[in-house]
Amino acid sequence: MKKPNQIRAKKHLSQNFLTDENIINKIIQCFDLREDDHVVEIGPGYGSMTFPIIEIIGSIDVIEVDKDLVNYLNENDDQELVNVIQADALNYDYSMLRKKKPMRLIGNLPYHISTPILFHLLGFSECFQDFHVMVQKEVADRMVSTHGNKTYGRLSVAIQSRCKASKVFDIKPSAFHPRPKVISSIVKLEPKTSLGNEVHSKLDEIVKIAFNQRRKKIRNSLKEIFSPQKLSDCGIDPNFRAENLSVEDYITLSKVGG
């Protein structure tokens, strides 16, 4: 089996392969896998997490876009325990993999498209028990940020209105080959009961408008949707700016509808 550091990584696919065994073990421990878990992995690469995982759960579905890696995984999977799907994680229909139990998603996400992948995955929240994703620390901070913080924004509200989000731990660039320029973090997401498609699409619309003009007071940025009186009726100060409203406030506004 070729070792990742003997193989050329493709920069345009954000290929940074985990090579530090201790870190790999630590990550796998944090998944807290049960033998009968149904796991889907995005971007398995050379299988640094995939192969240790199948030792615990026996089989896994993986989504990989790079044909060379798809071939590598198939060639090194003598017992055919890895179901390798050559596809783009950005537009894959994850509901196709669904069996009886909710699935568990893991992935060291390609960093140049981690945010759009997250938005796409949120649309399948109902199919999943949880998501453990590795992203750049800067993205992780935005995912878990709360109102009043500089890092709080559209991504924070989109994620936290659908999931309970928590950062698990950071990973140094030295755990990878080649080394990324940034620190990475693992974030755990646990889907909440859905608010329904209508509320979610309203929420996405409100949040987009509010944060596109984040320096403006919401009485101005949201004036096409809510009168200052309506904002007050929802218990929200019309003089607040986008970053002062909590996720709950945005949910309240989305339910009211405007």
Binding mask 107-146 for ligand SAH (x = CB under 6 A): -x-x--x---------------------------------
- Environment class of residue 5 by beta-carbon count within 10 Å: exposed (0-12), middle (13-18) or buried (19+)? exposed
| Closer of 53 and 210 to ligand SAH (Cβ) | 53
Quick one: which segment of 60-68, 146-154, 162-170, 223-231 binds ligand SAH (CB under 6 A)?
60-68
Q: Are 62 and 44 in contact (CB under 8 A)?
A: yes
The CB-nearest residue to ligand SAH is: 43
Cross-strand partners of 41: 62, 106
Element spanning 203, H or E: helix 197-212
Q: Does 48 bind ligand SAH (CB under 6 A)?
A: yes
DSSP SS3 for 102: coil
Q: Does 238 bind ligand SAH (CB under 6 A)?
A: no
Instruction: Tell the smallest beta-carbon distance from residue 99 to ligand SAH (Å).
Output: 21
Q: Does 199 bind ligand SAH (CB under 6 A)?
A: no
| Closer of 48 and 125 to ligand SAH (Cβ) | 48
Q: Does 16 bind ligand SAH (CB under 6 A)?
A: yes
Q: Does 63 bind ligand SAH (CB under 6 A)?
A: yes
Q: Does 184 bind ligand SAH (CB under 6 A)?
A: no
Kindly list the distances between the CA atom of residue 62 and the CA atoms of 59, 85, 97, 108, 216, in Å, as whole numbers in the listed order. Answer: 10, 6, 10, 12, 44
DSSP sequence for 5-35? GGS---GGGT--EE--HHHHHHHHHHH---T
Binding site for ligand SAH (CB under 6 A): 13-18, 42-45, 48-49, 63-66, 69, 88-90, 108, 110, 113
